[in-house]
A and B are shown apart, each in its own frame.
Chain A
Amino acid sequence: MNLTINKDEESTLVGINESRLDASIAPEFKKQMEEIIEQGNNKIILDISEITFMDSSSLGALVAVLKSMGSDGMLIISGASGVVLELFKLTRMDRIFTLVEDIDAAKEKFLANA
């Protein structure tokens, strides 16, 4: 799967260039995200605005990523909408993850936490 990475002073923006995040690619997604974290990126904005479908396997991969960031890491999910946002709500994972509408809102959160 295709992840794009852009770093600035406050955070690392990871974009997912897929429309679908499901059980067939969740393990690869988790592996790539863990590699990004291992490279020292612990303030991450994950842009899922291109994702139109996500299943619980992928949500589980996201939880694993969140756990691997540790207590001094921060993960913000940007751009969840439609049934993807519903997935977070139905599983109550919207109470666990920081969800924002767009990348600007995510960057504001990092600045506020700086």
Chain B
Amino acid sequence: MNIHKTEIKSQLSEIKSLATVFHDFSKKNGIDKDTANLMELAIVEAVNNIVIHAYAEEPDHKIYAQFEVDENQLKIILTDTGKAFEQKQQIKNTKTSLPEGNWGLDLIDSIVDQTQRYRTDKRNSFILIKQLN
């Protein structure tokens, strides 16, 4: 298993650098480009969520990312020390309205095979798992 750890500041402008690190990791580990591009979207949506909801866009915090890959799966672990995830954030868009957002969590679910969320010692962890075979 190959593992890479990194961290960024809790600013939307920093997320691009995390995406670059992820793509470097993907390339080094032979993850196909289409999968890597979709996983980038899932990661960005998850990190947007952390910046906006867990940290309320306060810029002086950290978001930790760990990328793990073996022959079977890619696992992304995102950790923050912000506010606990609230179930109400998972608002489904209604059919009667033209939505301007709230796609993030649904998008992640569409892209990855499994997600896990938990909170321990005032830290939130959001895990995205994609099967590679």
Residues of A whose CB lies within 8 Å of any CB of B are 20, 22-24, 53, 55-57, 59-61, 63-64, 66-67, 82-83, 86-87, 90-91, 96
Chain A neighbourhood of B106, CB < 8 A: 91
Chain A neighbourhood of B110, CB < 8 A: 90
| Majority secondary structure, A binding face | helix
Contact call B100/A60, Cβ cutoff below 8 A:
yes
| Majority secondary structure, B binding face | helix
A20 and chain B: residue at smallest CB distance: B16
Question: A59 CA to B48 CA in the complex, in Å?
Answer: 14
Contact call A63/B16, Cβ cutoff below 8 A:
no
Task: Output the least CB separation between A80 and chain B (Å).
Answer: 13
Contact call A22/B44, Cβ cutoff below 8 A:
yes
Contact call A91/B103, Cβ cutoff below 8 A:
yes
Question: A20 CA to B104 CA in the complex, in Å?
Answer: 17
